[in-house]
Amino acid sequence: GQFAGRRYITKSSTSSKRYTAQWYSRRRYPWEPWVTLKDWRFSWNRGLIMYGEAGYGNIHASKILPQHMGADVYIRQKKLKLPDCSKLAGGGWKLVRHVPPGDKWHPARDDLQGTARYGTPSKFPSAPAWSIPFKQNKFNEFLFATGDCEKWLVAPRYSVQGQFAGRRYIEKSSIKNKRYQARWYRRHRVGEDPWVSLED
């Protein structure tokens, strides 16, 4: 696809764990996509370019291809082990809303009433934001969890919905295995509310 931003690398010769790097694949540049071990600006003249197209030649090619016997591309079908937060705190949870890694929260504006519908449901953490309606579902608890299931909390439905600015009940969470309270906000005419947090 077309992109100009940070892309995930599962692992590489420079890192044994998942990370991101700034890559480019823009329609007007036939030599892209650029696939690099680090951000493109740190890679193009240091022998860290791993792929380019259109027979384009420059220092980005001469710094790596002669020294490393060229460059090849392989593919495989790998079974992905995706996080499954539906088993947290006794299980039985249904995923109804998602936001991917980034610097913006959910685009929904329904105050967690379950009326918003957008995007395409997916189990992949990197999928674009999506939501399905859940207002008509029979439920009495919410589970809020990070995509890797490392941080999470369970709260009664009555703690989450309605107008409030004060202490709300949390049944249990990733930091406490018993019922407690935290100060949350759901204020009238404040678009980014409700704020749901592990602590005040």
Window from 25-29, 69-73, 97-101, 161-165 with minimum mean pLDDT: 161-165
Which has the minimum average pLDDT: 16-30, 51-65, 109-123, 157-171? 157-171
b/e per residue 16-28 (b: at least 16 CB within 10 A): eeeeebbbbbeee
Q: What percent of the chain is modeled with pLDDT above 90? A: 59
Cα 18 to Cα 190: distance, rounded to the nearest angstrom: 36
Q: What is the residue whose two structure tokens read 């990070």? A: 146
Cα separation, 50 vs 88, whole angstroms: 40
Q: In the prediction, which pLDDT does 57 show?
A: 87
Checking 7-13 for CB contacts under 8 A at 24+ apart, the result is: 8/126, 9/37, 12/37, 13/37
Tokens of 14: 């420079």
Task: Give the 3-state secondary structure percentages of the chain, helix then strand then coil, rounded to 5.
Answer: 10, 25, 65
Q: Is the pLDDT of residue 148 over 70?
A: yes
What is the chain's mean pLDDT, rounded?
Answer: 90
Mean pLDDT (whole number) for 113-133:
93
pLDDT value, residue 132: 96
The arithmetic mean of pLDDT across residues 108-116, rounded, is: 92
Predicted local distance difference test score (pLDDT) of residue 89: 95
* pLDDT of 20 over the 70 cut: yes
Distance in angstroms between the alpha carbons of the first and the last residue of the chain: 41
> Is there a contact between 94 and 137 (Cβ–Cβ < 8 Å)?
yes
User: How sure is the predictor about 191, in pLDDT bands with cuts at 50, 70 and 90?
Assistant: low
pLDDT in tens, 38-95: 998 888 898 899 999 989 888 889 999 999 999 999 999 877 778 899 999 999 999 9
